[in-house]
Amino acid sequence: MFLRIWIVLFIIFISYTIGLYMFCDDGTILKPDENIIAGRNTWQEKNCQSCHQLYGLGGYMGPDLTNIISTKGVNRAKTFIKYGTGKMPDMSLSDEEVNNLIAYLSWIDNTGKSEITPDKIHWTGTYIIKEKAW
Ligand code: HEC
């Protein structure tokens, strides 16, 4: 009796696992292509993270860029990255590097939402994750 239950459970487990690996990952959203990986490398080489955050983690000189593509659009992001501003440096990136960075940021954008509301930003520029942590 018990053996039969275990055999049934084992078969269900194996079929579920195989089904999960074969059918549930369509590989379109999270699988990074070459451009995305190149963009990630540029992001690391140019140290964008020292001023920007992804999901609230990183430097605090510039804004969180997790959802910058869906909220502000590709053209605005491209212009900032290509030319810099008074506050953000112009890093003399090639068009290819800029496009790869956009591909990387779009990919990050697809991974989820990072909602940092203005009332969560402390006057020092850091984020208030929890009120009165001490
Ligand atoms: C020295 C700090 C610094 C570095 C390094 C830096 N940024 Fe920025 N970035 C800023 C600041 C500050 C702003 C806001 C600029 C402004 O409002 O004038 C900004 C703005 C942006 C914006 C536009 C945000 C918006 O609100 O639309 C994008 C996109 C961006 N940066 C991408 C990058 C990328 C990609 C890199 C790396 C190649 C990078 N930044 C490196 C400081 C930096």
Distance 4 CA to ligand 1 centre (A): 62
Beta bridge partners of 116: none
Domains of the chain: 32-117 (1.10.760.10)
CB distance 56 to ligand 1 below 6 Å: no
Query: Residue 57 is inside which H or E element, if any?
Result: strand 57-58
Mutate to test the pocket of ligand 1, among 41, 48, 49, 52 (most ligand atoms within 8 A of CB): 52
Distance 33 CA to ligand 1 centre (A): 24
Q: Report pLDDT digits (tens) over 85-113.
A: 989 999 999 999 999 999 999 999 988 88
Q: Report pLDDT digits (tens) over 4-53.
A: 999 999 999 999 998 887 776 665 557 889 999 999 999 999 999 999 99
Position in ligand 1 atom list of the atom nearest CA 93: 38
